[in-house]
Amino acid sequence: MDKKWWMESVGYQIYPKSFYDSNNDGIGDLIGITEKLTYLKDLGINLLWIGPFYDSPMDDNGYDVRNFYQVDQRFGTLDDAKTLIKTAHEFGIKVILDFVLNHTSDEHPWFIESRKSKDNPYRDYYIWHEGKMKDGKRVEPTNWGSFFGGSAWCFDEPSNSYYMKIFSDKMPDLNWRNPKVREEMINIGEFWLDVGADGFRIDAVSHLDRAPLEDIHDKKHKYPLDWHRFSNLPKVHDYLQELNEKLFKPHNALTIGEVGGQATIENALKYASFDANELSMVFNFDHNWCNNLNEVVDPKKLKVDVIQLRAVFKKWQDAFKEKGWLPLNWLNHDQPRLMSHYGHYKYPKASGKMLATVIHMMRGTPFIYQGEEIGMTNYPFQDVQDFDDQSSVANYRYQLEHVSDNPVYALKKASLKSRDNGRTPMQWDKSSAAGFTKGIPWFHVNPNYKKINVENSLKDPDSLWHHYQKLIDLRKNSQYHEVITYGELDFIDLENKDCLSYTRLRGDQTLLVINSFSQYDVMFDLTQYNILEVVLNNYKKTRIKNGMIFLKPFESVVLEVKVKA
């Protein structure tokens, strides 16, 4: 395996709209990110993934791009982007940008042209269809549902046809079968790499092709959502090989593809094994939903299924062991907050630290999502009007239509999963709007900001923030650097319902990582190990006696051990 710089990196994801507002218009911006680079440097990260900041009507907070070459004026200017990247580089921090390939905004000039007439030169940049006749009426070409609810097709009056859009009506899908589209996207990528970016997180990359246009058999739903109709199809790999050849490889760019659509391991390896010639890594989401979220209404009843979680991590880690490299992240801007989703409300500090240890001691490149390091939590939504995200509103409606007609229930269910939880402004201090802005914030600030904020976290040497800092320092700078970064990972005690544990092995060094997900005291058998060193613990005291370790609620321990002969 060739070592790469990004294997030795620790990443941090920024959702620009909610990170830090430097000009007090209530919206986070690029200068705001630059101003907080010292904060990020102190935390220890050396890789930033910055969400889209291109010119956009903001139907989906910037994932609906109107002009790929321009910075949205709400976020700043091209010069601000250049300064941000340059300053980050001076701090030793690399920067990857979000590259949105699957769709544009419906206000993008290509789409404006495309919808003008059937013979417009841009017509074929998008996916158009006449629709089909059903019971004497013209209807959508297929009954496919979109991710944001409703049909995956939208009827366009001016050109009297349907266009495909697997996200919102305002995000028409690009037609990747058209070589001109691929050329345009290569030029765009080229532009940002020339500006100084070190690579890309590639949005919705698994969706660049579609299956034959046939209806899904489903009697229950008008527009059933079947990811497989537009995910991980063979042509996507051809497109990525072309992008790699013409764009990524010549620039030595780091590329992390977002592969939703329940990508199989086989597919994931096609995207990102060392010899794939497509992407450097892929983000997957299999570990995001290993709790009882679908069964509960009360967030306090959420519980992680350790067996399922371990199986998912094991599946990915085993498959990529010698063949590739994985990014390691819990959740991003598309999911609820880690603390509320997988942590425990009675033990926020212990469970937060334990969760951090789980990820940061694995093989791969860890990513922290903004606010995770201070334990930010879900927002207490009181009304459907509180949602900004259209998929949260769609989920609320779905609950009302298909599950229960009780609006309180529907709101609770939609809140548990809402992407808006992760998008409330970053909580910097206890001043108004949590120090995110001196103006009126674009989105609700979590009312717990006086307690949960960066200022408090930095003051408390025992805070979650300092635990993250320790984990990063251990990985990057300690005598355990090699074993944590490159060591072989093996999950152990595979039937254990409380503890998720694994070993890391490199040369004559072995680390044993034990993470309790239980809110009760539990024991863990250490008789087969000689304990050399307690490397890290989220409690002050480590209690080992007669070959057993006694773990407090959500205790997490990293031990240097020797396996007994």
Active site positions, annotated: 203, 258
Q: How far is the CB of 215 from ligand NOJ (least distance, A)?
A: 24
Name the residue with tokens 């992680």. 304
Choose between 372 and 555: whose C-beta lies nearer to ligand NOJ.
372
Rounded Cα–Cα distance for residues 488 and 361 (Å): 11
Minimal distance, residue 164 CB to ligand NOJ, in Å: 14
Least separation in angstroms between CB 369 and ligand NOJ: 11
Q: Which of residues 150-179 bind ligand NOJ (CB under 6 A)?
A: 167
**Identity of the residue, 263 or 558, whose beta carbon is nearer to ligand NOJ in the bound complex:** 263
CB of 27 to ligand NOJ, least distance (A): 17
Please say which residue, 60 or 420, places its beta carbon nearer to ligand NOJ.
60
The alpha helices in 145-264, defined as continuous H runs, are 179-195, 234-243, 249-251
Asked if 75 touches ligand NOJ (CB under 6 A), the answer is no
Among candidates 527, 515, 517, 524, which has minimal Cα distance to 561? 527
Residue 523 C-beta: closest distance to ligand NOJ, Å:
41
Least CB distance from residue 258 to ligand NOJ, whole Å?
6
Beta strands in 23-177 (DSSP E): 47-50, 54-55, 67-71, 94-100, 128-129, 132-134, 137-139, 153-156, 161-164
* Residues from 245 through 264 that contact ligand NOJ (CB under 6 A): 258
Pick from 12, 19, 54, 63 the residue near ligand NOJ by CB under 6 A.
63
Residue 61 CB, nearest distance to ligand NOJ (Å)? 7
DSSP letters of 328-354? E-S--TTS--HHHHTS-TT-HHHHHHH
Helix (H), strand (E), coil (C) string for 410-469 = HHHHHHHHCHHHHHCCCCCCCCHHHHCCCCCCCCCCCHHHHCCCHHHHHHCCCCHHHHHH
Q: Which of 334, 386, 493, 498 binds ligand NOJ (CB under 6 A)?
A: 334
- 211-242 as b/e: b if 16+ CB within 10 A: eeeeeeeeeeeebebbeebbbbbeebbebbeb
In this structure, what is the dihedral angle of CA atoms 251, 253, 258, 263, given to the nearest 10 degrees? 90
Nearest to 236 by CA among 212, 271, 264, 263: 271
* Binds ligand NOJ by CB under 6 A, chosen from 21, 173, 198, 203: 203
Between 50 and 472, whose beta carbon lies closer to ligand NOJ? 50
- Considering the complex, state which of residue 271 and residue 554 has its C-beta at the smaller distance from ligand NOJ: 271
> Which pair of structure tokens corresponds to residue 179?
């070589």
Measured between its terminal Cα atoms, the distance across the chain in Å is: 30
Length of the chain equals 565
Nearer to ligand NOJ, 50 or 100 (CB): 100
| Closest CB to ligand NOJ: residue number | 63
Q: Of 170 and 504, which CB lies nearer to ligand NOJ in the complex structure?
A: 170
Q: Residue 204, interface with ligand NOJ (CB under 6 A)?
A: yes
Q: How crowded is residue 5: how many other Cβ atoms within 10 Å of its Cβ?
A: 12
Tokens 């995200």, residue located: 389
Binding-site member from 60, 80, 169, 373 for ligand NOJ (CB under 6 A): 60
In the numeric block, the tokens 């490397």 are attached to: 535
CA–CA dist 233, 102 (Å, integer): 14
Residue 53 lies near ligand NOJ (rule: CB under 6 A): no
# residues near ligand NOJ by CB under 6 A: 9
Coil/strand/helix, residue 225: coil
Radius of gyration of the chain (CA): 24
Give, as ranges, the residues between 262 and 301 that touch ligand NOJ (CB under 6 A): none
Nearer to ligand NOJ, 287 or 333 (CB): 333
Whole-number minimum distance, CB 13 to ligand NOJ, in Å? 10
Site residues (vs ligand NOJ, CB under 6 A): 60, 63, 100, 167, 203-204, 258, 333-334
